Structures are given as structure tokens and as C-alpha cells.
Chains A and B, each alone.
Chain A
């Protein structure tokens, strides 16, 4: 079956993610099997060779993200997919990708943690890890899909933002959307973004400028005569290790953060969000698989609801504009992670939490009950 935009399929979220990656131009995947993300690797192993891409099952998740970063420096769009335990192992290389400004996509189909936790159940417990999991100050892009179509669409967005900003982009999904099947249109009209490259054959003298403080420099990928040195050490403009000069470190890290932070509003506007305004004092906030419950509950209870798709970078201004004046109830499958960010944007006394770890999203009735308790 087809519609005007592409093939209509009935797929699992994980399968749609793989298709989105391929539509975005991903031609390299390295991964290590882990529930509930494995279907992504399985589909990539079948699909990539059909389109001339490379699939490698690595020896662990540390190696997986390393290989992805290597492939990205070879000029190829690359992705890995994992869940909690694997995402934990990847953290050193999240930082390396940030420091070396390597575009890549990391899919995390969140499951219950800590540790091995609930392998086959859903969670949103890695919201803070996606942001703070590696050491040092940094920013990444993290997007959270709430249905199978968004598993496709936001995977494309992850690639586009990774390429635009030269950062690792995280598809911060959960088992709810990873494993459920729904109708999805495998869009053929996707807009893709490719990293900016320096002219081929030209040695690049200053591959890592320190200023302006939100600059995204062109990426001198290997094998094109740029002759660059790339290191995870603090480096100067030439890319050379420079670990003793506080000013160089400050400028570098500020730029790595600002190139993402300063575009938070633009990212939210371009990726989009749901804001359904109703005549109520209470507003619900939810994202990812859990938002399905909350959108239903909000309709039932007749209250306003906000569903961000962009989890990081957080846009305080947007949240303030939309939600200031409401009693806000954040519903998430953890003990309060996005909640902490919302509290920082608003009057903290007006921000409430229904933290719901355990493997399944709360039912709409459970959420409505909580709204009633708040006086809605």
C-alpha cells in the first residue's frame, strides 16, 4: 500500500526507526544486541547491505559507538542503538563525540533501571543520563517520539540535527513506542541535512576555531586531504592537544555548549511540540510513550497539555511562555527527571509530579485521578 508520501506499513517502532535512519542517509550501523532495542540492529543488518551500507555487530557497546564515530570521520552518516546498560557503557564515547564534534545518532530504547532492571519493560529513566552521563560540561540533542510515525520522523530529525550541529543526537525513545506496532508512512520526501565540508584537497589549518562562541565549523572528514588531528584532549584551533591553557579550555567548552544551547528555540520550533490549550488551571506535561496516556487523560479531564518532542536542549523560555500561570503536573516513567527541568523554568511550587516507574505508563484513569487531586 502507498499513499502520496510513501509506502504505508504496519511496523514496530524499532523497525520504523531503522527505516527512518536509512531515509536520512545512514549508511553505517554498529551495535550490540540488547532488549528492547534489538529489532533496530536486526533490521539494519538486513536493510543496510541493500542500499550499499555497512552493518557491524561489535564486541560491546563501547566499541559500537567508537566504530560509529570512526565511520562518521570517514564521511558516512552512522548510528548505533541500545538500551540502558549499553547506553551506560557508551558514555565515555558520548563525551568523545561531543569533544571531537562528531555527528552521529545514538538510539536509546529506554527500559527499567538501574542496572539490568526490567529488560522488556518501558522506562524514561535515562533523561538525565542523556544530558549528564559523560563527564564534563556538554550539550547534546535528544528527541523523544510518542508513536511509530515519530520513530521514523524523529530519527530523521536526529540525523539532521547531528549533521547541522556536529553533535551526537540521541533518539530517547522507550519500550512503549519501540515495541508497539502502528501504521507508519515510510516517507520518501524526507529532507536531509549533510554536514558542511571544507573544500576537498585543502589542508585545514584551523579545524577547531574557538570563536565565535556558537560556531559549528565545517567537518574535515578523513581521506580528503585535510590533514587534521582529532583528539579528545582539550585542543587549540589547530586541533593540537592544549591542556594547560585555561582560556583555551574555557572557550572550547563554551562553544561546544553554546552551539547547541543558543539554538534551543530553533530546534524546538523546527522539530515541533504539541500544545493543546484548554480552559483549565491545570496543565499536563508528558513526552514519549507516556504522553499517549497523558494526552488521553487531558482530553478526559478537560485540561491543557504540553508534549515536547525535544528533551534536550531544554527551552526554558518556551516552557515559561506556554505554562506560566498553570498548576503543572509532569507525568513520566521515572521518579522525576524532566520534572526537575520544568521546575527550574517555572515557580517550583506550581510544578507537581506523577512519577511512574515500573514498566508501564500509568493508565489515563490514574492520571485523571491525580488531576482531580490537584483540584482540576
Chain B
């Protein structure tokens, strides 16, 4: 199966800016899905994409799959209904840093706590891209956005620490400079039962880069490559597999409730 077969080619050209990190994520996800559909690891008719609102949240609309483009911040709440009502669905949630951690922060920690069996891909570009570059909960301190013209006075969230604190069993961080590793990470997340969270450090050249000293997308990707490390290194952002454990997923626990109540059918 080709990548074109999993995409809605009739929707090209897409709306993303040239050089946007979301393009890389789209590409990598499409390749991983195409492979899995091809070798039968995954059924395209049972694979569902869910997203919130933001540039990153537009990605599901480009896949020739069932996809639910929801409201800002709430894709995990919608996914909770989809997945628990039909556990046969493979649910992939695509979200942004604002979507997941600001307006949707509460749903994020509760989905992690419940161990909802979904794969979350968070395009973390440090900014509200869609609305034109306002500060987000992951914008580094001191950085400039359209609503922090004097520099961001707030400390940022570490999204991986956040979801691990809430109980997420599988957590990885990669960047758009690591497409091969990112693809493998998505594969692992699809294989794991339970809440998988992939924090993808990504570039928004249009609304973050140009206000913070980057000339173009290439420079930003370069920065992501040079300033991250799979080992704990002074001054570098830790990437890689941050946690990989097993925990009973939410739908299995619900199943047990049904068994107790006698409503499990057989």
C-alpha cells in the first residue's frame, strides 16, 4: 500500500505553511500506517483519527480513514467515548501543545490516569500556530510571541513529565529532526495497549521561528537536532523512550465491571 492510498489526495495542496513541522508528522504517520495496513497489522476500517483544533489538529482530515476533528482541547474526551464504546477501534489522537496542555490539560491528565488505550501524537511547536503565534504552556521562558512581546514571563510545562505524573505507561519524546525514530515510536505506541504519549518537538517557522531568531524552518530543525539528546546531557533536551511499562487499559477495566454486573453477554 502506498502512502497515497492512506491519504485523501483530493485535498492536496494542504493548508500547512512551507517548512511546517506538521508536514513531517503527516508524512511519518502516513508511512507507518501504510506499512501496517499493507502487512495486516492494522485494519484501516478500524483505525480512527481524532484531533482538536489547531494546525496540527488538521492532519486527520488528510487521511482516508474515519476521522473526528473535534473542538479545541477536547479530542481525548471524544476519544474516551469512541474507544470505550467500541474497544475494537484503534484510536490515534493528534493534538497540539495548546490543545493538549492548555485548554485540554485536564482531559490529558485524566486520560493518562485512566490509561485510555489511545496513541497521542502531540505536535509541540511551543506556540499557538493556528491563531497566529500566541504564547502556549510550552513556550520557553523569555521567548517572544504575539501576546508576550516583552518575553514570556511564565515557566513551561514538560508534557512528558506531566503525563508520566498522571500515570501514562508509555511516553516518548522525539522531534521533527528524527523522522526515522519518530516512525518507530508511533509503531511502538500502536503496539502498546494503554495510553501512549509521543511529544514531538516541532517547528512553526511562521509564528514562532521568525519571532525568536530563526531564519527558516531548516535552521529550526537543525536546532532541534543539536539541542536534544537520547542521553541525559547538560543543556540538552532529553529525547527517546522515557517510560515503557504495562498497565491494564481502561476498556479492560470496564470489561471487568460488566463481568461483575453480569452484563458481559456470554
Contact = CB atoms under 8 A, between A and B. Distances in A.
The reply to whether chain A is a binding partner of chain B is yes
Interface of A: 27-28, 30, 46, 48-56, 58-60, 62-64, 66-76, 78, 92-93, 96, 201, 220, 222-233, 238, 240-241
B71 A70 contact: no
* Residue of B58, B60, B74 with highest tally of chain A CB at under 10 A: B74
B82 interface: yes
12 contacts: A28-B85, A49-B260, A54-B254, A56-B80, A66-B78, A66-B80, A69-B70, A70-B80, A70-B81, A76-B86, A223-B45, A231-B69
Contacts of B85: 27-28, 54, 70-71, 74-76, 78
B261 interface: yes
Interface of B: 8, 10-11, 44-46, 48, 50, 58, 60-61, 64-71, 74, 77-86, 88-89, 106-107, 110, 254, 257-258, 260-265
A30 B80 contact: yes
B61 A74 contact: no
Contact of B84 (A46, A52, A54, A73): A54
Contacts of A46: 261
Nearest to B254: A54
A50 B74 CA distance: 29
Contact of A52 (B48, B58, B107, B258): B258
Contacts of B88: 223
Contacts of B66: 220, 222-223, 226-228, 230
Given A222-B66, A225-B45, A51 B263 contact: yes
A78 B86 CA distance: 12
Contacts of A220: 66
Q: Main SS of the interface on chain B?
A: helix
A240 B11 contact: yes
A73 B71 contact: no
Contacts of B61: 229, 231, 240-241
A229 B65 CA distance: 7
Given A49-B263, A201-B45, A233 B69 contact: yes
Contacts of A92: 71
Nearest to B68: A230
A27 B85 CA distance: 8
A296 to B, nearest CB: 42
B68 A50 contact: no
Contacts of B64: 227
* Residue of A49, A60, A226, A233 with highest tally of chain B CB at under 10 A: A49
B82 A49 contact: no
* Residue of A27, A53, A63 with highest tally of chain B CB at under 10 A: A63
A88 to B, nearest CB: 15
Contact of A70 (B65, B79, B106): B79
A227 B64 CA distance: 6
Contacts of A27: 85
A311 B74 CA distance: 30
Contact of A66 (B10, B58, B60, B70): B70
B71 A74 contact: no
Given A222-B86, A229-B67, A229-B69, A59 B45 contact: no
A226 B66 CA distance: 7
B67 A70 contact: no
Contacts of A226: 66
